[in-house]
Amino acid sequence: MAFDNLTNRLQDTFRNMTGKGKLSEKNITDALSEIRISLLEADVSLDVINELLEHTRSEALGMKVTRDVEPSQMFVKIVNDKLIEILGEEKSELDFNQKPGILMMVGLQGSGKTTTIAKIANKLNKEGKKVLLVAADLARPAAIEQLKILGTQIGVEVFAQENSTPVEVVKNALAHGKDFDLILIDTAGRLQIDDALMQQLVDIQALTKPDEILLSVDAMSGQDVIHVANGFKEKLNITGLVATKFDGDSRGGSILSVRYMTQVPVKFVGVGEGIDELDEFYPDRTASRILGMGDIVSLVEKAQEKMDIEASERSAERMMKGQFTLDDMLIQLQQVSKMGPLSGLMKMMPGANQLAGQIDDADASSTMKKTEAMILSMTPEERNDPKIIRSTRKRRIAEGSGTSTTDVNRLLSQYEKMQKQMKMLSRFMGK
């Protein structure tokens, strides 16, 4: 996630406060000094830092300590509540008030604008909306072709015209799209804000009267993003931000800054290059993850979206009865693989952010693929009763999966340990 380094630094600060009977003014001052350095290193603007630290100092010095809660935990809660306020407090939804609903996507070149509008179209299409994508970026070579490819990939029609102007393209798209639920317009970007770009966007806004104008901002662009956002906001009715490359930068403080300085809500974050890798933005969940407290709700939602719940439940029921086979192991591996990189899942677990940083996703993925290949190289009888797998069978499985007998032995050893644990758990649960 974009805040990895910040999260790790803050966790160290809070850990140093743990166990203190009460917080003195010196404890609070020392902690705030460490937080200031962490935020500066994370590229958070001074305005945001000062607002957060002044509020935290005031609340911490005046807080009433209860017997049931450690002072350090109360301090974390103060920081958490203020972070949520800075990030926007409540989730901001797309809001369409006309038929068809109209959305404009704007931003600088390289901010991920075209890919992002396709991701949004994909999301809305999956929700049952009839979506039309409009290729109004005529400035960038291959922009139209890129949108057409993405449209084909997600099953959404793309309206495009060569040898025209962006305003004419949009005007014709409106006539063509009368029977659609939503029209999403990809506009031209520039390497920097200029008058010609802005006038073109102003003209399209006047023509379409869009319900939503989303600004694509690069989470890796540092404090420049505030200048960019304000430049667009001066001319256009920006209704939301989309932070792209949210998975690619360990700082990410610019998102805190741009949200606070512009007072425009963040609506989505891009968390990968895949067409499905666009998350709705929840201020409270993001604050929790920044502070290293995880995001269990998003983890559960990701599991529900990506996993075959019925297959998982059947497998889990057998496991609870102590009936854990290699087929069950395979099902669990395949379900976890669908949810994305292991380090990303670990970051959603409370307190596991630093552990996630030690995971090599490439190695983890390779190991899981090898394990899957070995299990699939076994016969149904072998998967159900691995005790029958002797030397000859091990060699056949290794050859069939492109692995070694050492790998097969390691897998069988891991399976045996897991099976013992499942049997112990089933006895404990009274199954």
Annotated binding-site residue? 257: no
pLDDT top residue among 343 and 145 = 145
Ligand-binding site membership of 96 (annotated):
no
Q: Is 107 annotated as ligand-binding?
A: yes
In a domain, 294, yes or no: no
Do 60 and 118 belong to one domain? no
In a domain, 260, yes or no: yes
Query: Has 189 been labeled as part of a binding site?
Result: yes
354 is in an annotated binding site: no
**One-letter identity of residue 262:** T
73: in domain:
yes
Instruction: Band the pLDDT of 197: cuts 50, 70, 90.
Output: confident
CATH code for the domain of 45: 1.20.120.140
Average pLDDT over residues 183-194: 87
pLDDT digit string (tens) for 331-370? 877 777 776 666 666 555 555 455 555 556 677 788 888 9
In a domain, 300, yes or no: no
Structure tokens at 85: 């306020």
What are the tens digits of pLDDT across the range 157-188? Answer: 999 998 899 999 999 999 999 999 999 999 99
Query: Mean pLDDT across the chain, nearest whole number?
Result: 83
Checking if the pLDDT of 67 tops 60, the result is no
Domain carrying residue 23: 4-87
Mean pLDDT of 29-50: 88
pLDDT computed for residue 358 by the predictor: 58
> With 80 as the cut, is the pLDDT of residue 21 above it?
no
Residues 116, 234, single domain; the answer is yes
Q: Which residue has the higher pLDDT, 211 or 328?
A: 211
Q: Does 405 carry a binding-site annotation?
A: no
- 422 is a domain residue: yes
Same domain as 168, residue 314 = no
Peptide bond into 100 cis (omega under 30): yes
Confidence of residue 309 (pLDDT cuts 50, 70, 90): low
Sign, Cα dihedral of 324, 330, 331, 332: positive
Render pLDDT for 241-290 as a digit per residue (tens, 0 to 9): 999 887 765 566 788 888 988 999 999 989 888 899 899 998 888 887 77
Question: 9 vs 116, which has greater pLDDT?
Answer: 116
Let me know whether 162 and 271 are in one domain.
Answer: yes
Which pair of structure tokens corresponds to residue 329? 């192991």
* 113 labeled part of a ligand binding site: yes
Positive or negative torsion for Cα 246, 1, 344, 305: negative
pLDDT of residue 381: 93
- Tally of structural domains, the chain: 3
Residue 303, domain member (yes or no) = no
- Three-class secondary structure of residue 63 per DSSP: coil
pLDDT digits (tens, 9 = 90+) for 413-428: 988 887 776 666 565 5
Q: Do 164 and 66 share a structural domain?
A: no
The pTM of the full predicted model, rounded to 2 decimals, is: 0.69
Residue 254 maps to which CATH number?
A: 3.40.50.300
246 is in an annotated binding site: yes
Q: Are residues 9 and 156 in the same domain?
A: no
Is there a single domain that holds both residue 115 and residue 211? yes
Residue 375 has pLDDT above 90, yes or no: yes
> Residue 99's pLDDT band (boundaries 50, 70, 90)?
very high
Q: What pLDDT does residue 344 have?
A: 64
111 annotated ligand-binding residue: yes
Residue 190 annotated as lining a ligand binding site: yes
User: Left (φ > 0), alpha (ψ -120 to 50) or beta: where does 209 sit?
Assistant: left
Both tokens of residue 143?
């922009």
Which residues does 71 contact at the CB level (< 8 Å), separation at least 6? 17, 20, 21, 22, 23, 63, 65
Is the same domain home to 175 and 47?
Answer: no
Based on the fold, state whether residues 230 and 355 are members of the same structural domain: no
Give the orientation angle of helix 224-235 with respect to helix 195-208, to 10 degrees. Answer: 50
* Claim to verify: residue 108 and residue 213 sit in the same structural domain: yes
Note whether residue 295 is domain-resident. no
Say if residue 338 carries a ligand binding annotation: no
Residue 330: give its domain's CATH number: 1.10.260.30
pLDDT at 431: 46
In what order do the strands lie in the sheet containing 182-187?
A: 157-159, 131-136, 182-187, 101-107, 212-218, 240-244, 266-270, 278-280
Q: Alpha-carbon distance 321 to 427, whole Å?
A: 8
Binned at pLDDT 50, 70 and 90, residue 90 comes out as confident
Q: Is 390 annotated as a binding residue?
A: no
Answer whether residue 216 is part of any domain: yes
Cβ-defined contacts of 224-229 (< 8 Å, 24+): 224/254, 225/254, 225/255, 225/257, 225/258, 226/45, 226/254, 226/257, 226/258, 226/261, 226/262, 228/108, 228/193, 229/258, 229/261, 229/262, 229/264
Residue 201 and residue 72 in one domain: no
The pLDDT of 89-111, averaged and rounded, is 92
- Is 26 in the same domain as 175? no
247 in a labelled binding site: yes
